[in-house]
Amino acid sequence: MTTKIATASTFLVATLMLAGFASMQSQTLDRKQLREMLVQLGYEVKDIVKDEGKEKYAVSFNRNDLNIPVGYEISPSGNYIWLTANLGEGPKAGNEMTFQLLKQNALVQPTFFYITESGQLRAALAVENRGVTNSILKLRSETFAENVGKTKDVWMK
């Protein structure tokens, strides 16, 4: 009888733990929660876009003698938190910088470089908007800024 109670208790505790973990993993941040989390991390947050449902924020990081403003926004689907940095005018097709940026993508992934429709060079990182904590957002932010800073010799040409 004691073994059955112990087994049932263990099963119940494991089930509750898994349910709690699954619940935490499925939680997503809304735009206001994202801003609050950035403030909690001690970052000076600038509101870039204030339109309801399209809010975008910026935080500046200093890396490799650069001031790197990083934009934060939640994707329209709500599935991702995008970190982006505008790096200026993008390279023209087929030049050496294009080739070097592609090589850098392999070294700094999941951060990546891309060129917008208007020809601007950007660095970006998509963070899955599920179970994001202060420590996860801080790690992703710091890593992203570090990746942008350490590749400046490629994209600042």
pLDDT of residue 92: 82
CA 113 – CA 87 distance, rounded (Å):
9
Spatial CA neighbour of 83 closest among 63, 54, 104, 59: 59
Grouping H, G, I as helix, E, B as strand and the rest as coil, residue 64 is coil
Domain ranges (residues) in the chain: 28-155
pLDDT of residue 93: 76
pLDDT of residue 24: 45
Averages of pLDDT over each 10 residues, the chain, 157 residues = 64 53 67 97 97 95 96 97 96 86 95 96 98 97 98 92
* CATH node for 28-155: 3.30.1460.10
State which H helix or E strand residue 141 sits in. helix 134-150
DSSP 18-58: HHHHHHHHH----HHHHHHHHHHTT---EEEE-STT--EEE
